[in-house]
Structure formats: structure tokens, C-alpha cells
Amino acid sequence: MTTTPAPAIDVRGLRKTYGPVVAVDHVDLAVAEGEIFGVLGPNGSGKSTTVECIAGMRRPDAGTVRILGLDPVADHDAVKRSVGVQLQSAGLQPKLRVREALDLFASFYDDPREPLELATRLGLGDRLDHPWRKLSGGQQQRLAIALALVGRPRVALLDELSTGLDPRSRRDVWDLVEEVRADGTTILLVTHLMEEAQHLCDRIALVERGRILVVDTPEGLIGRTAAPLVMSFVPDRALDTGGLVALAGVSDVMERSGRLQVACDDAAVLRVLDWLHDQHVRPEHLRVTESSLDEAYLDLVAGDETTTDAPEKESIR
Ligand code: ADP
Ligand code: MG
């Protein structure tokens, strides 16, 4: 008999309102142990509120949240020993030095990582005696990530993982996240970077207005769009792009410095080649690539920022 292991994070019917604002509305999600799960969506779509409810920092209005089988509000102390959290607003004490912060957070856990090694990995090795307030935005961000991961947590919740990081630091953070996962940590991360989501995540939830639109693998999301492929080539003679667009399965044709880009579905690839052949056009430097997650996102998420007459900001919980 096989039993399915309980998910590391199990959210059912989660709802959270701030006065008249419904921030999270009937969200269900299950993150398997060892998974890297991404949450993507426009600003104000309830991503941070969801993370804060999972972390036990906000009490849901309805629904249940279980993390490692525990109720994050009722079992807060136990959760704190097994879960690492990087919040968007990591309000650390301004005078706390990097080294002190790392030591403090490491002390919450049974088997923490070596804080100095982690700081060095994240480019903070020469900032250990700097107070938090004197760090640059990117350095504060890297410290927040280090603090979330220093305890070797069983689950890490990372809100806006690499927002504000330069490309080099971002790569370092991605390597670290992959290594931490290889060590067995389950990771839920919020990101705005499609490249990051595609690189790191096993599955992604697209959210909008407090609801989950779809959960799928990055490839699966791309496959759901009308045009999962891009054929790109340089025609050896002028052609009638109108004829191309008219082919079944072709959704868009763009020209960029002599190269044509045809967005289409799988079945249209041969149709396009046959059509070019009939027109006596040779597609030179032909490439067929997967359309990007960017396009899938734009296709699947309407994308208008949730506008609200936000009431007075409510403090945590
Ligand atoms: P996201 O992280 O996706 O940008 P949030 O969870 O921060 O979204 O916000 C969802 C909605 O809840 C937004 O309309 C936001 O204005 C509102 N909201 C978030 N936090 C608070 C708060 N502390 N008090 C009042 N409204 C809030
Ligand atoms: Mg947010």
C-alpha cells in the first residue's frame, strides 16, 4: 500500500480581509516536501498576505493553514524552530549588526548553518560589523535571505526573493536556494522575475485579486498559452506576412531587423514550413524555441494592479 506523504504546506480555503479589502479569497495550495514552489501575480494580489498567514504572522479570517502538520498560529513556537521566513518588510532593529543578527537567528534553531560561511556566500563577509541601517538595499535583502536560511529550516518562506539584487547576487542567491533544497528544505517563494521562476520553481501558482488562477509547472504554464512556440528565421526573399498570420495556429508575426518571429502552436510549425515552401521562400537561420514564461504570464494574468481604497494599514495579525 502506498500512502501519499502529507504536504509540507497545506492551505485550504484561506481568506483574509483588511476591513473592506479582501486580500486573500479562498486560496487552496499544497506544497510537497522538497519542492520549490513559486507564487506570481500583480502587486496587491495577496501574495504577501498569504505568506504571512502561512508563517503564522496573521490570523486567517477563514480556512486552515498547516505547515509541517502544525497550525502556524496555535503552534507558533514549534513552527518558528522549523521554518525560516524572509519577509518583504524585514524590519530589523536598525542598530543590529550583521554578525549579531546572524548569531541571533541561528540561535533559534537546533542545527544552524555556519553564519560566517553563509554571510560570505552572500557577499556580506566584509559587512559583519555594519549595523543593519547602514547596509545598502541589496545588502539588507541578502541579509534577510541569510536570516531565513541560517537555521537550516525544514521550510523556507521567501517573499520577493531577489527583488533589488544585481544579476551577480541574484545568481548567488539562486545557487544557494538550489543547494538548500538539495539539503531537503521545502521552499515557497514569491517572485516577480519570470527568469527566476523558470529557473528555480518546480511548480508555480499564478494569483490575481486574492485568488489562484492556475497552478502548474513552468513548462505547463507555457503550454497553456495560445502560442507556446516561437519560430524565428530570416526569409531569403520578401513574403506576405498576412498569409502567415492567416494560417491556423499562428497567433502573431513580428519582424525585427530582417528576422521574422512567428508565435504559434505545435501543429502550426509544419504548416508554416509547408506554406513557406509553396511560396518558394527559404527560412534561413531557422530556430524553433519555447515561448517564455513572461508571455504565458501576460497571457494568463489580466495584470491590472488590484486597486483598493486601502484602509489604515493594519499591523501584523
Ligand atoms: P502582494 O504581496 O501580492 O502585493 P499583499 O498581500 O501585500 O499583496 O496585499 C493584498 C491587498 O491587501 C492589497 O490590496 C493591500 O493594499 C492590502 N493590504 C496588505 N497589507 C495590508 C495591511 N497591513 N493593512 C491593510 N491592507 C493591507
Ligand atoms: Mg508582497
- Domains observed in the chain: 9-219 (3.40.50.300), 226-290 (3.30.70.980)
Q: What is the mean pLDDT of residues 134-140?
A: 92
pLDDT one-digit tens code per residue, 63-72: 999 999 999 9
Q: Is the sign of the CA dihedral 92, 93, 99, 105 positive or negative?
A: negative
Q: Please choose, from the candidates 293, 289, 127, the residue with its C-alpha nearest in 3D space to the C-alpha of residue 214.
A: 293
**Burial class of residue 11 in the structure, from the number of CB atoms within 10 Å of its CB (0-12 exposed, 13-18 middle, 19+ buried):** buried
Q: Which residue do the cell numbers 480556512 mark?
A: 63
Is the CB of 45 inside a 6 Å radius of any atom of ligand 1? yes
Q: Report the C-alpha gap between 44 and 147 in whole angstroms.
A: 25
Question: In this predicted structure, what is the pLDDT of residue 315?
Answer: 59
Contact 165/138 with Cβ under 8 angstroms?
A: yes
Question: In this predicted structure, what is the pLDDT of residue 305?
Answer: 52
Is the CB of 205 inside a 6 Å radius of any atom of ligand 1? no
Q: Which of 21, 189, 206, 309 to mutate to test the pocket of ligand 1 (most atoms within 8 A of CB)?
A: 21
Q: Report the C-alpha gap between 267 and 29 in whole angstroms.
A: 33
C-alpha of residue 42 to centroid of ligand 1, in Å: 11
The yes-or-no verdict on residue 304 having pLDDT over 60 is no
Is the CB of 48 inside a 6 Å radius of any atom of ligand 1? yes
**Burial class of residue 157 in the structure, from the number of CB atoms within 10 Å of its CB (0-12 exposed, 13-18 middle, 19+ buried):** buried
Contact 291/228 with Cβ under 8 angstroms?
A: yes
Q: Which residue do the cell numbers 486552515 mark?
A: 64
Using DSSP, state whether 210 is helix, strand or coil.
coil
Question: In this predicted structure, what is the pLDDT of residue 227?
Answer: 85
Is the CB of 47 inside a 6 Å radius of any atom of ligand 1? yes
CA atoms within 13 A on the CB side of 53: 30
pLDDT one-digit tens code per residue, 242-300: 999 999 999 889 998 899 999 999 999 999 999 999 999 999 999 999 888 988 898 88
Grade residue 2 by pLDDT with cuts at 50, 70 and 90.
Answer: low
Report which secondary-structure segment, H or E, holds 231.
Answer: strand 229-235
Q: Report the C-alpha gap between 317 and 315 in whole angstroms.
A: 6
Q: Please choose, from the candidates 121, 125, 66, 134, the residue with its C-alpha nearest in 3D space to the C-alpha of residue 99.
A: 125
Task: List CB-based neighbours of ion ligand 2 within 5 Å.
Answer: 47-48, 88
Ligand 1 atom with least separation from CA of 306: 14
Is the CB of 308 inside a 6 Å radius of any atom of ligand 1? yes
What is the grid cell recorded at 307? Answer: 486597486
The yes-or-no verdict on residue 307 having pLDDT over 50 is no
pLDDT one-digit tens code per residue, 153-210: 999 999 999 988 999 999 999 999 999 999 999 999 999 888 999 999 999 999 999 9
17 contacts: CB under 8 Å, gap ≥ 6:
23, 61
Is the CB of 163 inside a 6 Å radius of any atom of ligand 1? no
- Bridge partner residues of 211 (DSSP): 208
Residue type, position 102, single letter:
L
From the CB of residue 188, how many other CB atoms can be counted at a distance below 10 Å?
28
Contact 311/19 with Cβ under 8 angstroms?
A: yes
C-alpha of residue 53 to centroid of ligand 2, in Å: 13
Is the CB of 72 inside a 6 Å radius of any atom of ligand 1? no
Report which secondary-structure segment, H or E, holds 81.
Answer: helix 76-82
Is the CB of 314 inside a 6 Å radius of any atom of ligand 1? yes
State the ligand closest to the CA atom of 308: 1
C-alpha of residue 46 to centroid of ligand 1, in Å: 6
